[in-house]
Amino acid sequence: MNSRAFAIEVVQQLQQAGYQALWAGGCVRDQLLGLTPKDYDVATEATPDQVRNVFGHKRTLPIGASFGVITVLGPRTADPIEVATFRRDGAYSDGRRPDAVEFTDAREDAMRRDFTINGMFYDPAADEVIDFVGGQKDLAAKRIRAIGVADQRIEEDKLRMLRGVRFAAKHQFEIESGTLQAIQQRSAEISVVSNERIGAEMQRMLADPNRATAVKLLRQAKLLAAVVPDGQLLFASEDQWQQTLGQLQALQPNDFCAAATILLRPVLDSVGADAIMKCWKLSNDQRKTIAFASKQQSVLTDSPNEPWSQVQPLLLSPYIESTIAVMEACGDEDSVKFLRERLSWPEEKLNPEPLLTGQDLIQAGVSPGPEFKAMLTQCRAKQLDGELTTKEQALKLALNNRS
Ligand code: ATP
Ligand code: MG
């Protein structure tokens, strides 16, 4: 049984127990768009206790029970499903989450959701869409519209500003003018959202094929300068901004680090990758990839004409793929072709055994120290550049150069 079949079964079991139960939110939107939903959420009138009684305590986890969510475990082949009791949100005092929730009916549950296209239900048993918010009309018109009064909905939860832009970019929809205005007016309030959540949204937007649209919309919504340290530098020069958009568009793999390297170039030069990492709570690996790609791109751009001994160590880096993706998006065709050809070399040719090792130097009577390392480095470079081909030559060079 796959995730979809299990999501149908969960609804049917609740319905058979006498409770209204429906698919809700993103999975309804994706299905109407002809996309495969990433996950299925079920909304029901049954309370968390009633949901647990229907599926049994062994098959349910009450992790989110305090806000009405019970996780129902399925067979190994299907993802667990979150079953949420229809709810109305209480007051929002922190600009991010309701202070309390109250259980209610499907209509009110739709009203608390963020955008009309995310506010629909679907009954898989009856094959029926239940739409209290005009989601189908906005889906057909390719429009992101806040449910209810846009300014209030943004004021309640500022994360919705980034979600709105993400959905608009991903589906190539427009943001309805009242919703866009509300976002623009409140864009500075994005600062109440945690760095983790901002980073997670940025990662999803930049890893999406429509990343160029996403950053264009972020700028239009006045959010870009609010989520990037020194962000106004990104569009200080209109020419550079247009070039950035073109490169983001041209980027082939859905590689967040490569996209971030392209987008953040003007900022990386001023504040550095560490500031971005902190601001978006990136992993150490992501920080290193972005720092490597932005630094080494300029070295590698002329790689066919550089000594091989300079280029080869960079090709062994774990961050090289993102770097090549950036170069490709920037139109560095000759270098990319050269680097790809070299990367396809067999291991023993790309990274041959060293002619001279530390062991060889010790046997020749050299004692380990700074000089030792310099000898090995020098021999390695000359080996890679084809100036040394035997251990004897290498040893001779190393010993001759001793000071
Ligand atoms: P995706 O999973 O592709 O990002 P989604 O719409 O499923 O899209 P989720 O974050 O999984 O998004 O949330 C599921 C549903 O919960 C949404 O469709 C929406 O109805 C509601 N929702 C999520 N976050 C918010 C929010 N910040 N404010 C209001 N409603 C929300
Ligand atoms: Mg979802």
Whether the Cβ atoms of residue 394 and residue 355 lie closer than 8 Å to each other: yes
- Residue 140's nearest CA partner among 156, 120, 117 is 117
Same domain, 279 and 342: yes
- In whole angstroms, what is the distance from residue 294 CA to residue 232 CA? 19
Pocket of ligand 1 contains residue 25 by CB under 6 Å:
yes
pLDDT surpassing 60 at residue 223: yes
Domain that holds residue 279: 229-351
- Residue 295's nearest CA partner among 274, 273, 263 is 273
C-beta atoms surrounding 231 within 10 Å: 19
- In whole angstroms, what is the distance from residue 23 CA to residue 8 CA? 8
Same domain, 19 and 121: yes
Residue nearest to atom 30 of ligand 1 (CA): 113
Q: Which residues contact 72 (CB under 8 A, 6 or more apart)?
A: 10, 42, 51, 55, 59, 60, 80, 81, 82, 83
How do residues 126-143 score in pLDDT, each as one tens digit? 999 999 999 999 999 999
What's the mean pLDDT in 209-234? 96
Same domain, 94 and 159: no
Structure tokens at 342: 């070299």
Count CA within 13 A, CB hemisphere, residue 289: 22
Whether the Cβ atoms of residue 259 and residue 289 lie closer than 8 Å to each other: no
Last residue of a domain, one of 179, 202, 227: 227
Residue 275: the pLDDT is: 85
Same domain, 244 and 218: no
- Return the C-alpha torsion angle 393, 399, 400, 401, nearest 10: 110
Pocket of ligand 1 contains residue 203 by CB under 6 Å:
no
Q: Using a pLDDT cut of 70, give the percent of the chain over it.
A: 100
- In whole angstroms, what is the distance from residue 403 CA to residue 395 CA? 15
pLDDT surpassing 90 at residue 370: no
Same domain, 379 and 247: no
Q: Which residues contact 158 (CB under 8 A, 6 or more apart)?
A: 95, 96, 186, 189, 190, 192, 193
Last residue of a domain, one of 84, 110, 141: 141
113 Cα nearest atom in ligand 1: 30
C-beta atoms surrounding 274 within 10 Å: 12
Residue 278: the pLDDT is: 85
362 CA from centroid of ligand 1 (Å): 64
What's the mean pLDDT in 178-184? 98
Q: What is the CATH number of the domain that holds 62?
A: 3.30.460.10
Identify residue 302 by its one-letter amino acid code.
D
Cα 24 to its chain centre, rounded Å, is 24
What's the mean pLDDT in 317-344? 98
Q: What is the CATH number of the domain that holds 333?
A: 1.20.58
How do residues 93-134 score in pLDDT, each as one tens digit? 999 999 988 999 999 999 999 999 999 999 999 999 999 999
274 CA from centroid of ligand 2 (Å): 30
pLDDT surpassing 80 at residue 148: yes
Last residue of a domain, one of 184, 204, 227: 227
Whether the Cβ atoms of residue 125 and residue 157 lie closer than 8 Å to each other: no
Q: Is the pTM of this model over 0.85?
A: yes
Residue 371: the pLDDT is: 86
- Mean pLDDT rounded to a whole number for the chain: 96
What's the mean pLDDT in 228-255? 96
Same domain, 334 and 364: no
Structure tokens at 120: 């629909």
Same domain, 151 and 91: no
Q: Which residues contact 253 (CB under 8 A, 6 or more apart)?
A: 321, 325
- In whole angstroms, what is the distance from residue 81 CA to residue 4 CA? 10
Same domain, 28 and 120: yes
Question: How do strand 143-144 and strand 174-175 relate by DSSP bridges?
Answer: parallel
Residue nearest to atom 15 of ligand 1 (CA): 25
Buried b (16+ CB within 10 A) or exposed e, 372-400: eeebbebbbbbbbeeebeeeebbbebbee
Same domain, 338 and 248: yes
What's the mean pLDDT in 283-297? 95
Angstrom CA distances, 37 to 23, 31, 78, 179, 254, stand at 11, 6, 13, 25, 19
Pocket of ligand 1 contains residue 41 by CB under 6 Å:
yes
How do residues 60-69 score in pLDDT, each as one tens digit? 999 999 899 9
Same domain, 102 and 126: yes
Kindly report the CA angle at 300 between 297 and 305, in degrees rounded to 5?
Answer: 155
DSSP class of residue 80? -
H or E stretch at 372: helix 370-384
How do residues 243-268 score in pLDDT, each as one tens digit? 999 999 999 999 999 999 999 999 98
What's the mean pLDDT in 338-360? 96
pLDDT band for position 269 (cuts 50, 70, 90):
confident
Q: Among 8-12, 112-116, 118-122, 276-280, which is the least confidently predicted range? A: 276-280
Residue 368: the pLDDT is: 87
- In whole angstroms, what is the distance from residue 42 CA to residue 79 CA? 13
Residue nearest to atom 12 of ligand 1 (CA): 26
Question: How do strand 81-85 and strand 87-89 relate by DSSP bridges?
Answer: unpaired
Same domain, 252 and 284: yes
Q: What is the CATH number of the domain that holds 165?
A: 1.10.110.30
In the three-class reduction of DSSP (H, G, I as helix; E, B as strand; rest coil), residue 56 is classed as coil
Give the number of domains in the chain: 4
3-state DSSP of 14-40: HHHCCCCEEEECHHHHHHHCCCCCCCC
116 CA from centroid of ligand 2 (Å): 15
Same domain, 78 and 134: yes
Pocket of ligand 1 contains residue 116 by CB under 6 Å:
no
pLDDT band for position 386 (cuts 50, 70, 90):
very high
Q: Using a pLDDT cut of 90, give the percent of the chain over it.
A: 91
Structure tokens at 45: 């009138």
DSSP class of residue 307? -
156 Cα nearest atom in ligand 1: 28
Kindly report the CA angle at 41 between 38 and 46, in degrees rounded to 5?
Answer: 170
Whether the Cβ atoms of residue 21 and residue 44 lie closer than 8 Å to each other: yes
41 CA from centroid of ligand 2 (Å): 7
